Each structure stands twice: as structure tokens, then as C-alpha cells.
Structure 1
Amino acid sequence: MKYTRHTLKKLETLFSEIEYTIRYEKGNFNSGYCVVEDRKVAVINKFYDTEGRMNVLLEIIAGLTIEEDQLEESSLKFYKQVLKFLARQEEE
């Protein structure tokens, strides 16, 4: 998976389709992000570069259960690519 702004935008779109709000803010995050699950909000350190932001979003996705019928066709295809990428990362 390429760490580009375009791929980051796809991840952000995926989150919006599952009704999560992503906010980039400064704060004291031990892990670089905070997820408020009952409000479906992910707050990410605004000083992260594109790769850092993507890594955080991928880490959050790995912990979520996503209903595939919530996703549009293009996002579903991208989500399946993300799952394969995460599975490969786990194997390493």
C-alpha cells in the first residue's frame, strides 16, 4: 500500500461511510490518537505526516468490525485491499 495523500483520502472516505468522524488536532496522545467509540470519533495528532496518519487509521480499522453493506462499491474494494495489507503486516 502506498503512503500517499490519495490513499489517505480513500481511508478517510471509508471512515465517513461507516459514520466515523476523523479530527486532526493537537493533544497529549500516548499512541498518537484517541478513539471515542460511542461517538464514533477518531482524534489523531495533527502533526503526523501522511504516513503517520495512514498508519493510525489502519490500526484503528484493524480493531473495528465493519459491516460491508455500509460501504459503496469502490470503498468495499478498497476495504478488501486494506484487509489483505493488514493480514500481510501481521504475518511479518
Structure 2
Amino acid sequence: MIKYTQSTLDKLEHIPEQCGYVLRYERGTFQSGFCILEAKKVVVLNKFLQTEGRINTLLELIPQLDIDTNLLTDDARKLYWGILSTNNTPEGEA
């Protein structure tokens, strides 16, 4: 169970940042709350999302990114693997 706090958001933001991605909060029309510019390793998140929405968006986004776990701190790596295992759990088995 994930807590919807600023601390959790900060930890989630550090995962892509540690792998060279730039996270930016901007306004715009985002269908899913984010836009990935792969060539420049930029992730643009909808700035109008509240903390809970930002956390949910990052939880959806992070598995789609090219994350090199060797660049992550131990805490970030554990969180990353936790996100991946949660996303790979079939519904009803969580």
C-alpha cells in the first residue's frame, strides 16, 4: 500500500531523475497526465495534478521508462522493483 504524501512523490521523482530524465511540470492537454520525449529524456507531467494524481501518474509512467538500475540508489532501486512487481501482478492477486 502506497502513501500519498509529498515524501512518496519525492522518492518517485528521484527514480527517473537518477537515470538522466528531466521531470518537468507543465500545463497542456495530456491524455494520461504525462508526455515522454524519449530523444531528450524529458518527462512532462501535468502541473495541475494534485499529489495523489502525480504519484499515480509516476507509478504508471516509471515502468515505461528506460531505467538503468545501476544508476539508482539502494532505496530508489527497492522502490523501482516494488513498482515493477506491483504492475506485473494480475488483478485480483494483489
Structure 1 length as normaliser, TM-score?
0.86
* Number of aligned residues: 90
Q: Which has the higher helix share?
A: 1
- Structure 1: gaps of 5 or more residues: none
CA RMSD after TM alignment: 1.4
| Residue pairs, 1:18-29, within 5 angstroms | 18-29=19-30
Q: Do 2:16 and 2:67's aligned partners in 1 also have CA atoms closer than 8 Å?
A: no
Deviation per CA, 1:34-84, whole angstroms, max 9, x where unpaired?
A: 110111111111110111111111111121232211111121122122222
SS of residue paired to 1:30:
coil
Q: Do 2:63 and 2:83's aligned partners in 1 also have CA atoms closer than 8 Å?
A: no
- Residues in 1 aligned to 2:86 and 2:54: alpha-carbon distance in whole angstroms: 16
SS of residue paired to 2:36:
strand
Residue 71 of structure 1 aligns with an amino acid whose one-letter code is: L
Q: Do 2:37 and 2:43's aligned partners in 1 also have CA atoms closer than 8 Å?
A: yes
Corresponding position of 1:52 = 53
- Residues in 2 aligned to 1:7 and 1:33: alpha-carbon distance in whole angstroms: 18
